[in-house]
Amino acid sequence: MMKKMVLRTIIATAAIAVGLATSTPGFCYDANGVAKVTLVEVSYMPRTILFRLDKAIGSCQPETWIFWDAQGADKDEKDKNAQAVLSTLLTARTTGMPVYIHLTSAGCKAEFMYI
């Protein structure tokens, strides 16, 4: 009887661990660096902003499109996030100030950026 309880506990724990490991999203940026913004594409606003940098970051080569997907819990928050990121990118582009960026190399998806 005790062996059955232990076995059930082990199986239940393993099932929970597998479920959490496969369903919990996480931050997965794997590269960061400093570069200057050379081009900003706004055609897909407010959902996505594309931009190019003058230097390679991770496996994203210079002048490769970098993607920023608007972040937030609802449409209003995503719209505000897109506006803030667009303002940051345009400021960096027009002033020549570099941005410090964290991104996921697979797909060149920006996660965080600072100016």
Mean pLDDT of 21-41: 78
pLDDT at residue 24 in the model: 42
Residue of 37, 75, 78, 77 whose CA lies nearest to 55: 37
94: its two tokens: 């027009």
Residue of 103, 67, 65 whose CA lies nearest to 114: 103
Mean pLDDT of 30-57: 96
Distance between first and last Cα of the chain = 63
Find the angle CA(97)-CA(102)-CA(108) to the nearest 5 degrees. 100
At 7, the amino acid letter reads L
Mean pLDDT of 11-37: 65
**Banded model confidence at residue 29, pLDDT cuts 50, 70, 90:** confident
Residue of 71, 25, 63, 24 whose CA lies nearest to 47: 71
List, in order of start, the domains of the chain with CATH numbers: 31-114 (2.40.50.340)
On average, the pLDDT of the chain sits at 85
- Read off the pLDDT of residues 96-109 as tens digits, 9 standing for 90 and up: 999 999 999 999 99
According to DSSP, the residues that pair with 60 across neighbouring strands are 57
Mean pLDDT of 29-45: 95
